[in-house]
Amino acid sequence: MLDITTTIQEYIYFLKSRNACDPSIPYLEKLISPECQTIADITAVIDKGGSSYSPGWAAWTLQNHGDQMTPALQLTFIRRIISPMRAFQLYRDCGWLSDEADIELLKIFEGKLPEAEKQLANKMQRRAKDG
């Protein structure tokens, strides 16, 4: 299980075991430094603008690997998502999200996607969590 103390090297090994896209590995390897050793450190570097971070990376990582993350690590990535539509898609599609993760995703998209929210409320779109 990945958590905020997982080292970057362990994370890279995990990504390779799940056949992650090749560009993610060199990107992570470049971030390794005495100040950047764990997944939590990566997010701190990104937050300071110290990397060529794409906002989509947090959503992609959560979508593809969130089922192997602790709830605290899920929240670390969710709090970096800026797209209401991407937050909605994760909320709808990821059945393994914690209740707190659900709340954080709702905060990102609620009131911004009225049609999608209406479809969810009317069960025209169903959440994976609802079975």
Residue ranges per structural domain of the chain: 1-53, 55-131
Helices (H), ranges, 1-131: 8-17, 24-31, 39-47, 56-65, 71-78, 84-93, 99-109, 114-121
Name every residue whose Cβ is closer than 8 Å to that of residue 58 and which is 6 or more positions away in sequence: 77, 78, 80, 81
Residue 42, Cβ density class (10 Å: 0-12 exposed, 13-18 middle, ≥19 buried) = buried
Orientation of helix 71-78 relative to helix 56-65, angle to 10°: 150
For the entire predicted model, the pTM comes to 0.88
Predicted pLDDT of residue 53: 65
Residue 113 binned pLDDT confidence (cut-offs 50, 70, 90):
very high
Nearest alpha-carbon partner for 66 in 113, 28, 18: 18
d(CA 38, CA 5): 6
- Tokens standing for residue 54: 């794409």
d(CA 12, CA 21): 11
d(CA 22, CA 129): 30
Predicted pLDDT of residue 48: 75
Residue 52 binned pLDDT confidence (cut-offs 50, 70, 90):
low
